[in-house]
Chain A
């Protein structure tokens, strides 16, 4: 061997020394469930679509969003965004404005004419009857179509949309937005037959050759309370009023309107009354502001528009031009109790907004469906006692929101898909929640939330123009980038950078990373310095 003087060995690389054998813990990449996703009743992958929005790829963001929810422009306006309440960034400064970005994406899609990705599986040809074109029915139809089935929606009203059209007023949800998102669903291959009330589900299914059915009939019958009223008293119900306004035939209300109830419907009616010209619009509610089921932001907006509130009061009687109210007090359990103290209020009209129930006459001939207190009973997969008939939305009770209805429709569609092929749907196991404690928040830049602009007050009191505005592109991008990407790698390269042993392999944009266990010593630095908690240290079997 020809070696220089005093040299006995070939020079070698330290790569021969596999330091991975030192390890007692190994780092592993994980995807956790961000709290926003976990809180979304429609099961949106919020972190997932924000990831694309952050990079300015709005179409990809929108496409990711609509994998779970086909109505983002509507959602971005009417959803009460429980996601934001759960958002980890709320513990840092303020929650991410998820709902505002969602609306921005929905509006962009409408503006630019983006379309859904084609259905996942080629057509199964199986026809599914959907009763009702509210959010529950639309969502179920969309997801069935995605899975390759042929949904047909039968809708009693003249137009599709359910409460999104005949309940939620235009100043919160402009009809052009609603129409655009419904039109996209029709383009996607969903048949919607309007002015087609289903009178008897079993016969409609039989005659139409439907293999399964989803009931999304909502709750449209106004609940009434007994109020002794003189002949000349003008008493209306909230849903009829909102329906008539939508149909272009607003009722005459007079100068003073009293709205009875404490839910969102009461607020919408009171705000609508203002817009119809009432000088005074007063909400009478038997409990306190804190106990009101209506959403705080809507109470705030109503107050700004001059709606007045009478807390802790019930209506005892109504007569021409006035009502008699009784003051209440809350007992130890928080229930309102009468005090016997009475007061007269001038009122030209009283609108009852005391909740709704479902018209279930279409089920009269269906056996095996259990109905308790007017609510259809379903299992986890939204199936009723009658195999093959599913239900969701307001008709199954619980959380009565557009978002929940969309979630029900999705879950039912997956269950129907399984049922059609003789299986029972089992949802994939959810990963652990990416809690705030798992984050290394040092790495996130400080940034307060962007505020959505609101319409000026004069226009809000006289017109049905939309009250809350959208974000500009700059603002939407800024807001999206406030996301911490909880529990899911966002390719910050920290693990790749901080490893003293170069034991992290970078796979390239969108491909994330891999560990090189030949050299990883298991120090745990990568896991400690991952901002979003996407790495765990797992004990090695030794």
Chain B
């Protein structure tokens, strides 16, 4: 007789919740009483991936820290849409910093807590810092590298939407090649952001040998929460890089934010992995592989690759970037 193990849960861990899963396997987000660290009424665009990613991450960190958490926040969309004075959407102690110094501000908070503990503070209070890709990979990079190198006790979360969205979609060093931004227009001879430039900060963080580095997307909540939980088990410098699609800057309808993140992961163009002490320890495998074209085509920032003529050369180069990720991070079973 054909016996099936009963460990089959209809949607498994793909959905946010699942009434069939044992409670300990359900997400923080699925709870009726969740933290909602980033509350309603914020002014993010419809379908904002960054607002969603921030609530996912900070709620998970709050859970891990038993609600005793302080956040430092770089300038950028996240800061601007959440705190137009005197309103705030944040339901935790939260400090605004400059565009480029969040990591340093968080370092300072961590140091202050250390002093307080030495003076008898009993509560275990944790610190996170968060910012956009511009604030992290460009202007905030020096402060961040310092925070890593000193192994300060901070979890730094970068919300990567591939550009300076808050100021009108300019290029950052995390903008993907070929993407059109306000500063990398698609004109004759200049088809968006140049190939061969930019940086992938998770690998640089990894090179610092800090306790924990990981990437995640808003398309896989279970994976994202597991990474925040794991990160919070360590002390010292930790880095989480979350892909947060931006309907406005990328040019797709607001209901496709999660779909874009899913396609980025499934095409391999955005590798999802985790590393501990400088070594990659796990990759989130691709479940239903798609060509990178499926990810690019729906986004207006890549429209010039498809019309008036199909830019096969650029598409091939982007596909090669995805394939390289697949090889490098072993994203497909056959690459294991």
Q: Which residues of A contact B (CB under 8 A)?
A: 9-19, 22, 54-55, 442-445, 447, 450-451, 453, 472, 474-475, 477-478, 481-483, 490-494, 496-503, 506, 508-509, 516, 518-519, 521-525, 527-529, 531, 537
Contact = CB atoms under 8 A, between A and B. Distances in A.
B328 interface: no
11 contacts: A12-B88, A13-B39, A19-B40, A54-B20, A444-B14, A478-B8, A493-B27, A501-B40, A506-B32, A525-B258, A527-B255
B290 to A, nearest CB: 11
Interface string B1-43: 1111110111110111111100000010110100010111111
A525 B255 contact: yes
Nearest to A481: B10
Contacts of B256: 528
A492 B82 CA distance: 28
Contact of A528 (B15, B27, B38, B255): B255
Nearest to B56: A497
B16 A492 contact: yes
Contacts of B258: 498, 525, 528-529
A130 to B, nearest CB: 41
B103 to A, nearest CB: 26
Nearest to B11: A443
A531 to B, nearest CB: 6
B19 A502 contact: no
A72 to B, nearest CB: 22
A12 B86 contact: yes
Contacts of B334: none
B8 A500 contact: no
Interface stretch (B45-53, B125-133, B166-174): B45-53
A445 B2 contact: no
Contact of A519 (B1, B8, B40, B47): B40
Nearest to A444: B11
B297 interface: no
B44 interface: yes
A527 B258 CA distance: 12
Contacts, number: 171
Interface of B: 1-6, 8-12, 14-20, 27, 29-30, 32, 36, 38-44, 46-49, 51-52, 55, 82, 85-89, 221, 247, 253-259, 262, 288
Nearest to B89: A14
A527 B88 CA distance: 28
Contacts of B255: 523-525, 527-528, 537
Contacts of B20: 54-55, 481
A483 B11 CA distance: 10
A181 to B, nearest CB: 26
Given A13-B41, A55-B20, A497-B27, A525 B221 contact: no
A11 B49 CA distance: 27
Given A450-B4, A478-B8, A519-B40, A493 B18 contact: yes
Nearest to A505: B32
**Interface of chain A, helix or strand or loop or mixed?**
loop
Contacts of A453: 1-2
A490 B89 CA distance: 31
Contacts of B30: 493, 496-497
A270 to B, nearest CB: 28
A14 B88 contact: yes
Contact of B51 (A482, A500, A506): A500
Given A10-B86, A497-B29, A474 B12 contact: no
A447 B8 contact: yes
B40 A525 contact: no
A16 B257 contact: no
Nearest to A501: B40
B40 A528 contact: no
Given A498-B52, A525-B258, A527-B255, A478 B29 contact: no
B14 A443 contact: yes
B287 to A, nearest CB: 8
B244 to A, nearest CB: 10
A502 B36 contact: yes
A341 to B, nearest CB: 46
Contact of A19 (B1, B8, B43, B49): B43
Closest 5 CB pairs of A and B: A493-B17, A497-B16, A524-B255, A14-B41, A523-B47
Nearest to A51: B19
Contacts of B16: 492-494, 496-498
Nearest to A56: B20
Contact of A492 (B17, B87, B288): B17
A477 B8 CA distance: 9
Given A478-B6, A508-B32, A523-B255, 7 more contacts: A13-B88, A55-B20, A491-B17, A496-B30, A499-B52, A501-B44, A523-B47
B254 A524 contact: yes
Nearest to B1: A453
B3 A444 contact: no
